[in-house]
């Protein structure tokens, strides 16, 4: 039964990505369900747009980094790059996240010493790497309020994921795509889209102005009005205690690699491109729990992603994490800075800007 399920999933995924195959027939059968889902999304969106469901505005600008495609597209590395950009400009930044995969549901502060099971692996990575306040919560509004209450000096909030979390009003959206683009262009479950694309303009809950949405491409060719994000592995790895090691120092010594991300094969390929002799790999599910992971030391040193390391170091302290370096184009950063300045001015001018934090 599990083999049949895996075969159906693979065929449908190929159809989602526009790669043809017999999964297209399955996608066609699912079209009525997609139409129903499309209608429900439209109704829910309209209820927020017309004020039937309340959209909350916080006292500082909110930037949402999200996606309309199912699966990982590189949102968290973009979030981290954006946070580091704001920090370099002297801004005090906070980060909000749902904390996907965590075993808790309450609103929690994330510290570098938090447990990934309680806060999620990506929020923990952001807290450790960026050294900024991070809060997780099923309600981003509650998380934002809690963060601002504890850190009233924060000037801008970046929401890692949450493009469809409409209860939280936002001042700027960054919609991230990878090489798949919009796939076959269909809504779930016949296609990979969470909401129709192109998106209809969203209206800010307080100002009534249209919320700008910038489109980023983390892989593949960027089209017109899209910003190409550059990603590459660092030329070094680090251990839990911060000890660095140049990748070149591994030489041709056999090493093993593991990755619990959306596309583990890409990480393995990038290691090989760095000249490493990767003799053994473990491709794990995205956000996989690594507590029971078995590692055979005979395969050599362990290399992993930073997201995996925050979980793996609890049990395998000698693992080496290889950072992913994400570079946002200058034109994109200039556009973000302009929109942020406009949002900050609007917050200062609005009589409602201080009420919901």
> Which pLDDT tens digit goes with each residue over 247-261?
999 999 999 999 999
Q: Is the pTM of this model over 0.85?
A: yes
- Any idea which residue has 């920090």 for tokens? 87
**What is the arithmetic mean of pLDDT over 335-352?**
88
Within 10 angstroms of residue 45's Cβ, the number of other Cβ atoms is 18
> What SS3 class is residue 286?
coil
Beta bridge partners of 230: 327
Whole-number pLDDT of residue 114: 97
Between the CA of residue 48 and those of 137, 167, 194, 239, 252, what are the distances in Å? 20, 8, 17, 46, 57
pLDDT at 353 over 50: no
Domain 62-229+328-349 has CATH 3.40.50: yes
Whole-number pLDDT of residue 355: 44
Whole-number pLDDT of residue 34: 97
Residue 210 near residue 236 (C-beta atoms within 8 A): no
Percent of the chain with pLDDT over 70: 97
For residue 127, report the phi and psi dihedrals to the nearest 5 degrees: -60, -40
**What is the arithmetic mean of pLDDT over 338-352?**
87
In tens, the pLDDT along 117-172 reads 999 999 999 999 999 999 999 999 999 999 999 999 999 999 999 999 999 999 99
In tens, the pLDDT along 265-297 reads 999 999 999 999 999 999 999 999 998 899 999
What CA–CA distance (Å, rounded) separates 268 from 250?
A: 15
Peptide bond into 198 cis (omega under 30): yes
Q: Per 3-state DSSP, what percentage of the chain is helix, strand, and coil (rounded to 5)?
A: 35, 20, 45
* Mean pLDDT estimate for the chain: 93
Whole-number pLDDT of residue 26: 87
pLDDT band at residue 351 using 50, 70 and 90 as cut-offs: low
Domain ranges of the chain: 62-229+328-349, 233-326
For residue 187, report the phi and psi dihedrals to the nearest 5 degrees: -80, 160
pLDDT band at residue 206 using 50, 70 and 90 as cut-offs: confident
Residue 136 near residue 123 (C-beta atoms within 8 A): yes
Whole-number pLDDT of residue 7: 75
Whole-number pLDDT of residue 12: 82
More confident residue, 142 or 8: 142
What CA–CA distance (Å, rounded) separates 268 from 304?
A: 9
Whole-number pLDDT of residue 2: 60
What CA–CA distance (Å, rounded) separates 21 from 12?
A: 9
Whole-number pLDDT of residue 1: 55
Percent of the chain with pLDDT over 90: 85
Across 60-64, 77-81, 92-96, 349-353, least confident range: 349-353
pLDDT at 357 over 60: no
Residue 345: both structure tokens together: 């001015």
**CB burial class (10 A; 0-12, 13-18, 19+) of residue 351?**
exposed
Whole-number pLDDT of residue 22: 78
């Amino acid at each position: 039964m599990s083999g049949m399920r895996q075969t159906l999933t693979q065929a449908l995924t190929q159809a989602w990505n526009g790669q043809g195959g017999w999964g297209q027939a399955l996608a066609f059968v699912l079209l009525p369900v997609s139409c129903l889902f499309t209608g429900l999304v439209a109704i829910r969106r309209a209820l927020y747009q017309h004020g039937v469901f309340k959209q909350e505005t916080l006292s500082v600008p909110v930037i949402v980094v999200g996606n309309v495609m199912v699966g990982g597209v590189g949102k968290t590395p973009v979030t981290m790059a954006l946070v580091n950009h704001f920090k370099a400009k002297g801004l005090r930044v906070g980060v909000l996240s749902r904390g996907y995969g965590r075993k808790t549901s309450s609103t929690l502060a994330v510290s570098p010493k938090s447990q990934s099971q309680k806060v999620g692996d990506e929020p923990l990575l952001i807290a450790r790497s960026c050294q900024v306040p991070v809060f997780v919560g099923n309600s981003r509004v509650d998380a934002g309020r809690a963060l601002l209450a504890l850190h009233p000096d924060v000037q801008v909030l970046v929401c890692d994921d949450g493009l469809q979390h409409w209860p939280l009003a936002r001042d700027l959206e960054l919609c991230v795509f990878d090489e798949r683009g919009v796939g076959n262009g269909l809504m779930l479950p016949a296609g990979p889209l969470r909401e129709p694309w192109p998106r209809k303009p969203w209206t800010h809950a307080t100002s009534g102005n249209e919320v700008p949405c910038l489109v980023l491409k983390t892989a593949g060719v960027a089209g017109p009005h899209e910003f190409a994000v550059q990603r590459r592995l660092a030329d070094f790895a680090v251990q839990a205690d911060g000890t660095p090691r140049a990748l070149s120092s591994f030489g041709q010594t056999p090493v093993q690699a593991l990755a619990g991300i959306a596309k583990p094969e890409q990480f393995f390929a990038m290691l090989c491109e760095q000249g490493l002799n990767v003799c053994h790999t473990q491709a794990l599910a995205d956000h996989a729990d690594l507590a029971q992971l078995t590692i055979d030391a005979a395969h050599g040193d362990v290399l992993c992603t930073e997201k995996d390391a925050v979980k793996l170091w609890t049990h395998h302290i000698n693992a080496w994490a290889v950072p992913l370096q994400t570079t946002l184009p200058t034109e994109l950063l200039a556009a973000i800075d302009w929109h942020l300045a406009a949002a900050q001015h609007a917050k200062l001018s609005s009589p409602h800007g201080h009420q919901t934090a």
